[in-house]
Structures are given as C-alpha cells and as structure tokens.
C-alpha cells in the first residue's frame, strides 16, 4: 500500500507539472511539496528524498547540469546526427513556420487560429473576377481547345496578355496587378472549373518562375527590363528545372555552366558556357524568356570563390544562339503548352544570372523559398476549383439522370460518391482559403505548401474518379458535350508535377515538418553545429532540456487525453464542433510524442524509413486539414445548414488520422515499444469511423437541390447561364427538371396514370389537353425534356473526323454499274 501511494504521489506530481508545462524550477518546487505532503503521511521516506535531491540538484544547478549532463549528450548527439546535404539544408532554412508549428506543439492555440482575420477580396480583385475572368471563361470552348487546336485560341492568348493575367504577382510599380495570394487562388479556382488548359496557362507564370524570382532576387536592371514586359505580356516566361536525369530529385540536375570569358556582341566579357537538356517545361514552346536552373562551376576562380558554386538560376532569351526550343510534349490529352528545351555550349554573359554574379550558387535557396509560396496557391487552387465545379455538375447530373424510374442520385451507391465529392470539395476550399491567407500575412509555409499540394491533388483525383463513376458512359464518351472526360484524363498531371506525390508524402511533409515545426529539433541542430563552442553548448543546453520536458509533457498529456477521451481538453465553442477541437488537441499531443519517440529510437534512420515518415506526415497533414475546416465553418457563420459538410470533412480527417496512427504503431520497428505506445495513445482503439451513410445522404441531397448551402459550396465558380457554358446550361436544366416534376405529377394525377418520366414534351401536351397545364407550363415541360436529353446524350462522329491524319481516311467505294443485259 505504501509503495502504491508513493507511486501515486511521485508519478502524479511529475505528471501534473509535465501536463501543465511548468518551468523546471517551478516543477521541482511542486514535486518537492508533493513529497513533503507524502512525508507527513508516512508514504515518503529518506531514500525518496535522496533520489529527489540526486535528480533535482543537477537539473537546477546550471554549472553541474552543463558539465555532467549537457556536454556528454552534445558529444553523442554530434556523432549520431545525420549528415545533411547542402540542398536539404537550404530546403530546411527556406520558408517559415506558421499554424503547422502550433499543431506540432502538442497544445494548439485555437484562439490564435480563429484570431486570423478572414481573407477578403479587394474591390479591384472582385472586379477582375467579375469582369475579365468571367469574360475569358466565356471565350473558351473546351472541345476547340483540346481537340481542334490543341491550344487556346489566338484571341484568348491576346485577351490574357491585354488584361494582365500573367502579371497577378507583379508589383504595380512595374505595371502588374499585385493581387493577393487569396485573389490568385479564387481566380485560378474559377478558371480551372472552366478549363484546365486555361488555368494552367495562367497559373504557371504566376507561380515559380522568372516573375517571382526577379521580384525577390533580380538586380535593378533586370527588374526594370523584364518586369514591365512580363506585365504587359510582351514576354512569356517559363522556368526550366526538370531534366531527364533529375525529376523529383531536382538537386541532382546534370546541367552545367562553366564560368569563363568569351565574345559577346563584339566584346570579350565574363560569362558562362551552358550545356543543358530539360523536359516537361510548361510554356516552353511559346516562351520568349527562359528561367534556367543549372550547376555552376568556376574552375579558373574568375568570380573569386570556390570552384563548385552550386545550383544557379539565369534568364536566357529565346533568340539566344544555340537554344533549341519550340517542340511540344502532349500531356494526357490536356494540351497546355509544355515541351523540352536544350542547349550545348551556349555562351551568355555572367549578368544573365538572376541577381547577377553575387547570386551565383544561390539558385536552390531561391527556388525552395519561392516554391514554399507557389505550391500553396497554384495546384491546390486548381484542384479545389475543379472539385467544386464537379460537385455541382455531378449533383445536377445525378438528379436529372433517371434509371429504374428514379433519379440515380437517390440510389445509396451514388449517394456514397456524392457524399465524398461534396465533403472533399468543402474541405479543399477551406484549405486553400486558410493557406493563401497565411501567404498574404507574410508567411512562406514550406511544410503547409507540401501538405496542400499532396492532399488537394489526391482529393481532386478522388473527386474526379467518383464523378466519372456517377456519370458512367456520359463521362467516357468525349465530344463537345462532355464536360468531365478531360479532367479525368489530366488528373495524374497535378499528381506528378512540382514534386511527385509519392516523394511529397514519403519524404517532404514530415521530413521537413519534423525539423522545422518541432519547437526544439532545429534549435538542437543549429546549436550542435555552432562553431562558437561556448555559445553552442549554452544553446544546446537550453534546447535539449526543453526538448526533454516537451517529450514528458506530451507523454502525460497523451496518457490523460486517451483515458479520458480528451473531455477535459479546451474547445473554443460548446456546439457540435467541440468534440473535434478536443480530439485534435489530443492528437496533436500524440503526434508530438510519436515524433520524439521515432526520432529518439531511429535517429538518422528515420530519414530512410519512408513509410513511417509518411504516416507521421499524414497525422500532421490531417490536423492541418481539420483546422482549415473548422476555421471555414466559423468564418461562414457556423450555419446549421452547412453542418453535414463540416461533419463529413472532420470525420473523414480524423478517421484517416487514426488509421495512419494505428498503422504507424503496428509497423513500428520496436514491436514492444509499439504495443506500449498503443496502450498510451489508443487504449480503447479508434474513436472515429468513416462518415456515416446518413451524412452521405444529406450531402447528396445538398448537391442535387439548389440552395444557399449548395451556392456557398460552389462560391466563385463559373456557373453563369451563358451560351456555351456547360456548367451554366446544366444548372438551368436542373432548375427546369425540378420545376417540371410537380407539373408531371399534376398531369399523371389528372390522367389517373403514371407516365414514364421521359418525353416530357408529350406529357406537357397531355396536360394541355386535360386542362391542367397552362401554355407556359407546357413550354416548361418542352424545355425540360430538351434539357434532359441534352444532359444524357453523348456525341458521335464520322470515322474520318477522329483521324489526326485525314489522308488516311478510306476513299468511298465507287458504286458498280450493272452490265447491260
């Protein structure tokens, strides 16, 4: 009994001070007071006090702690710390830590999340969305772009240039629009819901490329020359990084530049001889200026530094002698301008380097810093915009299309898919809103940008797959009336570019997150590498014991939250969302604990255990996605009608999070430790299941029924009832069919017969004959029938129309004349 009470007192006291994250001295005093109380009841004796003092004194006396604890730990740490390449170091140093740091803290501050001001469009940005963006959407004919031209029309290209679509990121002083990241996201969402080629053409120049690099790193002369020309559309930029030998491993590019002297415009100048071969370069076939990444060497020391300068970025005009450019790739029938370029022993002046000679070797840092912003905007936004439009289109189609004498959208199998489509679209919009808002606040969230790129492109693939299943043959048969097939074909493109998703999930999200977002790991690394040994020891002492306290805190927080169901965790609201806030606080502590255990047990080996890293990254990711959903629900007024979408998104996030956590523990290298951690973290198994059938049903109903909730889900998309807009036409047909249903019932009741819900025009005529419909109502029935047929019909072609080489078409056989009798 005495031993039990002793354990309760000691462990309880340590657990409380750890849970509350008290400072070391305060924690020591409280534990001492607890022992004093235990002594008064006879549960704590001499040896307990001796043990307490043996631990408390070295920890609290700086000189003893540093000499006998910190120094040996630092010596061991330096031996086991994994070697980091220069590119890895630059990637870690790039960007900032934002809400991802709160998630990693084990105790996210919900007041800070909801204190982030809701993003708003300026009057100028709204006018651009309502004007030029709407107009260019009206100009684009998808069949013409994808099948006839394999490009945007010349008129569309000129419109984009004239209205500065390629200058959204360029500052006003250079003639650009200087739009917010949030506005860029809304514009790309609208464009992607209209046409993928259009969205890609606009998105790429406003993401990683010459415009962004020049503004941040260019010389004054480079900025004054190029930025106004880029803003006016006189120059079309592209950026060439990927090559045959360097795809996801971009740091391994074999393309070379050698610093040397050479002739340029009749004079000898300091320059570079470049040899490179690039592929998959968007806008390359039409680009007038190429941003080029290569490894620069200075064997003669002409720049006065080391020989291997590293990755460098330069601007190469299209008309440079020796530059081979113009051929096109054909990416999965989505014919945005994309192609290879190459050059052999091309000489250019040294001042072609972006930022001049002083920026030689700084290319990788430049790229990863800009990529941390661009990856938050372009691909996540185009994915979210496509998902939102597909949610409307699939809901409308499912309500209009009938089989077995009922709308297919009322079948439970279809409801399951509509639930996923709607829930994912809601989540994706939430993530783009929060992430781009962070960029506008000045953040460069490198970890969050990787989360956004991976998860939103994967969810886009899920949405388009579900949409195709619902549409069936309508989605498969390409033609002018197919609004879905090209999105399905092109889905793998977004998965592959800007860091393939396999790489992003398995190596980047947690690989960077564990170091950047953890409150102590990066500090320990910097302290261990500090050349000032005294200062390094001091910094390491502070970091390592902060880390130990952090790990102890997350252990006891995880234990408490797991056995109490996190019922004592704080939540900013006491409504239906409270359980999600509490669960996420619990899982934040769990993730921080699992991270410390994984890094402590595996050390540098964790870098190579990609599947473990991926699952830890999944936990971090779903905590971020869930945060975005809760933020969106609050910003939109915590509306009761939106609850099904919010519940679906949160339950899906937390289900997937628990799945990743369970698989991590099942596959933990140390099986005994994995079992122990599961007892601490998931003693009663998983707490969340997949979204219920009822939630799927509610969302399916939302997607099939015009309402404010449905409008909010598709906010900002191109749904105008313009001639040629497939989405607008589908929305009008949905309205007509829904309006025709009560008229159909009226005619059937008057006739005493249930007619098939086909040939509505004839049903309308019957209604006129029976005197139960007016002329206007009969006309509506005619219009609904025509719209219904337009929705379910597919295109067909003469055989020769589908042949790229019309000369191969078989000539018509000549008819044989009968011989005279």
Nearest CA to 428 among 701, 674, 715, 664?
A: 715
Nearest CA to 743 among 712, 713, 709, 767?
A: 767
46: left (phi over 0), alpha (psi -120 to 50) or beta: alpha
Contact predicate 672/736, CB 8 Å: no
- Specify the 3-state DSSP secondary structure of 340: strand
Nearest CA to 51 among 20, 15, 9?
A: 9
Q: Could you tell me which residues come within 8 angstroms of residue 24 by beta carbon, excluding any fewer than 6 positions away? A: 59, 60, 545, 549
Nearest CA to 214 among 203, 225, 198?
A: 225
- Specify the 3-state DSSP secondary structure of 127: helix
Query: Of the listed 235, 498, 524, 731, which one is catalytic?
Result: 498
State how far the alpha carbon of 325 is from the alpha carbons of 10, 289, 397, 594, in Å: 73, 11, 43, 50
What is the crossing angle of helices 412-440 and 693-704, to 10°? 80
Q: Could you tell me which residues come within 8 angstroms of residue 197 by beta carbon, excluding any fewer than 6 positions away? A: 145, 146, 151, 152, 334, 335, 336
Task: Give the dihedral sign, CA 597/586/419/412.
Answer: positive
Q: Could you tell me which residues come within 8 angstroms of residue 741 by beta carbon, excluding any fewer than 6 positions away? A: none
Tokens 């999200």, residue? 509
Per-residue three-class SS string for 151-209: CCCHHHHHHHHHCCHHHCCCCHHHCCCCCCHHHHHHHHHHHHHHCHHHHHHHHHHHCCC
- Specify the 3-state DSSP secondary structure of 237: strand
What is the crossing angle of helices 24-40 and 46-60, to 10°? 170
DSSP state, residue 518: S
Catalytic residue list contains 498? yes
How open is the CA angle 572-574-579, to the nearest 5 degrees? 85
State how far the alpha carbon of 41 is from the alpha carbons of 9, 34, 35, 48, 422, in Å: 11, 11, 10, 14, 62
Nearest CA to 449 among 132, 91, 703, 814?
A: 91
Token pair of 216 as six digits: 């941040």
Report the DSSP pairing between strands 338-349 and 267-282. antiparallel
Nearest CA to 458 among 371, 377, 383, 375?
A: 383
Token pair of 698 as six digits: 């509610």
How open is the CA angle 316-318-322, to the nearest 5 degrees? 85
Q: Which residues are catalytic?
A: 498
């Amino acid at each position: 009994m005495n031993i039990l009470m002793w354990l309760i007192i000691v462990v309880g006291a340590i657990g409380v001070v750890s849970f509350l994250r008290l400072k070391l001295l305060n924690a020591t005093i409280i534990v001492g007071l607890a022992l004093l109380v235990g002594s008064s009841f006879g549960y704590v004796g001499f040896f307990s006090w001796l043990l307490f003092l043996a631990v408390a004194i070295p920890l609290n006396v700086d000189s003893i702690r540093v000499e006998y604890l910190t120094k040996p730990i630092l010596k061991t740490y330096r031996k086991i710390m994994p070697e980091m390449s220069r590119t890895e170091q630059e990637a870690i140093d790039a960007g900032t830590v934002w809400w991802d740091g709160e998630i990693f803290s084990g105790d996210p501050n919900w007041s800070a999340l909801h204190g982030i001001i809701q993003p708003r469009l300026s009057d100028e940005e709204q006018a651009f969305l309502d004007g030029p963006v709407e107009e260019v959407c009206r100009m684009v004919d998808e069949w013409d772009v994808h099948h006839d031209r394999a490009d945007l029309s010349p008129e569309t290209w000129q419109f984009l240039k004239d209205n500065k679509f390629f200058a959204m990121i360029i500052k006003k002083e250079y003639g650009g629009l200087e739009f917010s990241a949030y506005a860029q996201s809304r514009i790309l969402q609208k464009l992607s819901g209209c046409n993928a080629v259009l969205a890609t053409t606009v998105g790429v120049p406003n993401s990683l490329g010459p415009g962004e690099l020049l503004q941040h790193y260019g010389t004054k002369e480079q900025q004054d020359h190029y930025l106004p020309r880029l803003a006016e559309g006189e120059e079309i930029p592209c950026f060439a990084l990927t090559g045959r030998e360097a795809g996801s491993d971009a740091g391994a590019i074999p393309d070379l530049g050698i610093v040397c002297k050479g002739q340029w415009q009749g004079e000898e100048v300091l320059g570079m001889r470049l040899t490179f071969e690039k592929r998959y370069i968007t806008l390359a076939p039409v680009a007038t200026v190429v941003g080029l990444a290569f490894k620069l060497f200075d064997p003669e020391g002409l720049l006065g530094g080391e020989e291997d300068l590293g990755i460098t970025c330069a601007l190469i005009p299209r008309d440079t002698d020796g530059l081979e450019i113009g051929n096109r790739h054909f990416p999965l029938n989505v014919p945005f301008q994309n192609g290879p370029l190459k050059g052999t022993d091309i000489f250019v002046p040294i001042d072609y380097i972006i930022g001049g000679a002083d920026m030689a070797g700084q290319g990788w840092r430049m790229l990863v810093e800009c990529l941390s912003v661009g990856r938050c905007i372009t691909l996540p936004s185009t994915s979210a915009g496509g998902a939102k439009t597909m949610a409307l289109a699939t809901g409308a189609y499912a309500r209009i299309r009938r089989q077995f004498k009922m709308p297919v959208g009322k079948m439970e199998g279809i409801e399951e898919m509509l639930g996923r489509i709607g829930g994912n679209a809601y989540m994706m919009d939430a993530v783009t809103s929060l992430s781009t808002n962070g960029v506008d606040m000045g953040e460069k969230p490198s970890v969050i940008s990787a989360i956004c790129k991976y998860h939103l492109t994967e969810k886009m693939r899920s949405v388009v797959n579900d949409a195709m299943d619902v549409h069936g043959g309508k989605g498969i048969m390409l033609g002018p009336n197919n609004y879905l097939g090209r999105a399905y074909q092109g889905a793998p493109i977004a998965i592959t570019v800007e860091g393939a998703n396999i790489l992003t999930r398995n190596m980047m999200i947690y690989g960077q997150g564990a170091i950047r977002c953890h409150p102590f790991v990066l500090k320990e690394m910097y302290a261990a590498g500090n050349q000032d040994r005294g200062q390094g020891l001091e910094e390491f002492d502070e970091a390592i014991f902060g880390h130990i306290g952090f790990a102890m805190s997350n252990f006891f927080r995880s234990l408490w939250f797991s056995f109490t169901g996190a019922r004592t965790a704080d939540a900013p609201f006491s409504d239906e969302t409270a359980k999600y806030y509490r669960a996420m606080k619990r899982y934040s502590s769990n993730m921080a604990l699992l991270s410390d255990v994984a890094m402590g047990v595996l050390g540098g080996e964790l870098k190579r255990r990609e599947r473990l890293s991926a699952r830890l990254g999944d936990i971090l990711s779903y905590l971020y996605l869930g945060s975005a959903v809760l933020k969106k629900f609050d910003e939109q007024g915590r509306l009761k009608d939106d609850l099904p979408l919010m519940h679906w998104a949160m339950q899906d996030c937390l289900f997937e999070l628990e799945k990743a956590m369970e698989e991590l523990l099942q596959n933990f290298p140390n099986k005994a430790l994995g079992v122990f951690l599961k007892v601490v973290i998931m003693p009663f198994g998983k707490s969340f299941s997949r979204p219920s059938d009822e939630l799927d049903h509610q969302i399916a109903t939302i997607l099939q029924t015009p309402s404010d909730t449905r409008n909010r889900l598709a906010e900002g998309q191109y749904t105008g009832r313009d001639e040629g807009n497939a989405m607008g036409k589908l929305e009008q047909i949905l309205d007509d069919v829904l309006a025709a249903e009560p008229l159909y019932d009226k005619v059937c009741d008057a006739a005493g017969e249930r007619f098939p819900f086909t040939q509505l025009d004839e049903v309308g005529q019957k209604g006129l004959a029976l005197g139960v419909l007016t002329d206007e109502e009969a006309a509506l029935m005619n219009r609904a029938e025509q719209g219904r047929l337009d929705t379910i019909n597919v295109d067909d072609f003469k055989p020769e129309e589908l042949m790229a080489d019309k000369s191969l078409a078989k000539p018509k056989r000549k008819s044989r004349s009968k011989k005279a009798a």
